[in-house]
Amino acid sequence: MAFPEGFVWGAAAASYQIEGAAREDGKGPSVWDMLCRKPDAVWEGQTGDVACDHYHRYAEDVGLMKRIGLGGYRFSISWPRVIPDGTGHVNPKGLDFYSRLVDELLSAGVEPFATLFHWDFPYELYCRGGWLNRDSAGWFADYATAVVEKLGDRVTHWMTLNEPQCSVGLGHHEGRHAPGDKWNWPEVLRVGHHTLLAHGQGVRAIRAASPQTCRVGFAPVGVVRIPATDSEADIQAARTDMFAVRDKTTWNNTWWMDPVFRGAYPEDGLALYADDLPPIEDGDLETMHQPLDFFGANIYNGTTIRAGEGGTPEVVPNPTGIGLSAYKWPVTPDCLYWGPRFFHERYRLPVYITENGTSSNDWVAIDGGVHDPARIDYTARHLLALNRAITGGVDIRGYFHWSIMDNFEWAEGVKERFGLIHVDYVTQKRTLKDSALWYSEVCAANGENLLKTQ
Ligand code: IFM
């Protein structure tokens, strides 16, 4: 079966990873600006100060998106660019940047999908307790209002948060991401609780400020389990494991998704974290549980599970020598079949794949091209798996490749290249990789060419 009519063929990026212009036009500092200045926090001491210089080169970048034929572009908005101190004074120049970007996208025929928070939290708010402060939910809602009042006449697809599992877990527990804290579970879960409250208050703010009907979603990490075989027992074991909270890490689905999509923290998580729970006030779960229009899933790989004794889920180790990305992430294409299938089954919302992609060691070759066959193969296999999910009845509305261009990969600096477009960080020259030319054909054919390769 073909991809559905109107399927959005897109690509994604995030503000801190591409914009640069870290101190221009009134932008305030974010926790990432702070972390990048700490010795050894980021590979080779790199920062996002310049990154891809997209702030100045956005028109060229949108031109390349048009050339590829993207139907959608998922970008994020930098909170401290819009509100330098995080609350209070709104910076008109910051908002103007996103307004120009949106106009450029629309005139190129590329639908904007905006994410309000992709980790660049305002440093000034961190100094006021950051996400530990319960007021953070209201700060976020005020910021959402300012953005939607400016862009809501043209942007109809919004996402509140990107991957809270990372911003909370890597940022406040493991200390590998900004703000670099290594806190205990009571603080980490309090940060998580306020983040989810911010989501809920943010959704209300978006809908209140939008001058037209808009679609609002949430883009968590999709932690995917793949059944070892098609037996009912293995499928059930994978499903059970995918929606379980087993260990004290943030790497699970339900702690983050159940409050948002079902209005309750999962029972197993409540038991596991019994001694660490944050204060949960009356009405908090109702606030988190706002009606949403879509489920955004960021999926890169999955873990294989089989039914052990009595159906108990057991991890099946990856085959020796499995394909690995440059980042050493295993290549497991079935994650884009089982992930959307299980998420749709549980949360009953249309799905967008809001991120999927791979890093590879790309450079400009002697012939001037950038040859990245691994990315083409990775993406083709994942899209074919996604197509099987669609054929099987899962309501999937679009796919956003991560990433439109090479960018600042957080603590890894610019070492990991995820882009369809190669960026030379010395000259800022952009080169369409082979994968961009290939993806362009996929977009134009609505994926039909892919299906013929099977
Ligand atoms: O670059 C990140 C992105 O910011 C969030 N999701 C995963 C990507 C690859 O690591």
Res. 385 pLDDT band, cuts 50 70 90: very high
For ligand 1, atom 1, name the residue with the nearest CA: 409
User: Residue 379 above 90 pLDDT?
Assistant: yes
Residue 453 has pLDDT above 80, yes or no: no
Q: Tell me how far the alpha carbon of residue 105 is from its chain's centroid.
A: 20
Q: What residue's CA is closest to ligand 1, atom 2? A: 409
Residue 410 has pLDDT above 90, yes or no: yes
Q: Is 32 in the pocket of ligand 1 (CB under 6 A)?
A: no
Centre of ligand 1 to C-alpha 302, Å, is: 15
CATH fold for domain 8-323:
TIM Barrel (3.20.20)
Rounded to an integer, what distance in angstroms lies between the CA atom of residue 183 and that of residue 172? 6
Q: Sorting pLDDT into bands at 50, 70 and 90, what band is 454?
A: low
Residue whose Cα lies nearest atom 10 of ligand 1: it is 409
- Residue to substitute in 76, 166, 325 for testing ligand 1 pocket (most ligand atoms within 8 angstroms of CB): 166
Prediction pTM value: 0.98
DSSP state, 221?
Answer: B
- Distance from the alpha carbon of residue 409 to the mean position of ligand 1, in angstroms: 7
Q: Is 163 touching ligand 1 by the criterion CB < 6 Å?
A: yes
Best mutation site among 409, 414, 417 for ligand 1, i.e. most ligand atoms within 8 A of its Cβ?
A: 409
* Torsional class of 221: left (φ above 0), alpha (ψ -120 to 50), beta (otherwise): beta
Q: Indicate the range of 73-77, 201-205, 422-426, 449-453 predicted with least confidence.
A: 449-453
Tens-place pLDDT, residues 173-196: 999 999 999 999 999 999 999 999
Which of 43, 163, 375 to probe ligand 1 with, by most ligand atoms within 8 A of CB?
Answer: 163
Q: Where are the beta strands (DSSP E) in 188-342?
A: 215-219, 224-227, 294-298, 302-307, 313-316
Task: Check residue 77 and give its pLDDT.
Answer: 98
Rounded distance from Cα 356 to ligand 1 centre (Å): 9
Question: 107, exposed or middle or buried, with CB in 10 Å at 0-12, 13-18, 19+?
Answer: exposed
**Nearest ligand 1 atom to alpha carbon 298:** 6
pLDDT at 2: 83
Q: Which residue has tokens 């083409």?
A: 376
Residue 402 near ligand 1, beta carbon < 6 Å: yes
Strand-strand pairing, 313-316 and 302-307: antiparallel
Tell how far the Cα of 417 is from the centroid of ligand 1, in angstroms: 11
- To which residue do tokens 């690995």 refer? 324
> Ligand 1 in contact with 14 (CB < 6 A)?
yes
Dihedral sign computed on CA atoms, order 272, 277, 280, 286: negative
State the DSSP H helix or E strand holding residue 448, giving kind and residue range, or none if neither. Answer: helix 448-452
Confidence of residue 282 (pLDDT cuts 50, 70, 90): very high
Bridge partners of 400, per DSSP, are 10
- How do the domains of the chain map onto residue ranges? 8-323
Beta bridge partners, 303, equal 225
Q: Is the pLDDT of residue 1 over 80?
A: no
Q: What's residue 349's pLDDT?
A: 98
What is the mean predicted confidence (pLDDT) over 396-413? Answer: 98
**387: number of Cβ within 10 Å:** 22
Q: What is the pLDDT of residues 343-363, one digit of tens each?
A: 999 999 999 999 999 999 999
13 lines ligand 1 (CB under 6 A): no
Q: What percentage of the chain reaches a pLDDT higher than 70?
A: 99
Is the beta carbon of 409 within 6 A of some atom in ligand 1?
A: yes
The response to whether residue 406 sits with its C-beta less than 6 Å from ligand 1 reads: no
Q: Just list the catalytic residues.
A: 163, 355
Q: How high is the pLDDT of residue 228?
A: 98
Tens-place pLDDT, residues 211-240: 999 999 999 999 999 999 999 999 999 999
Nearest to 335 by CA among 343, 346, 324: 343
Mean pLDDT across the chain: 98
- C-alpha distances (whole Å) from 199 to each of 2, 154, 262, 431 are 34, 22, 14, 37
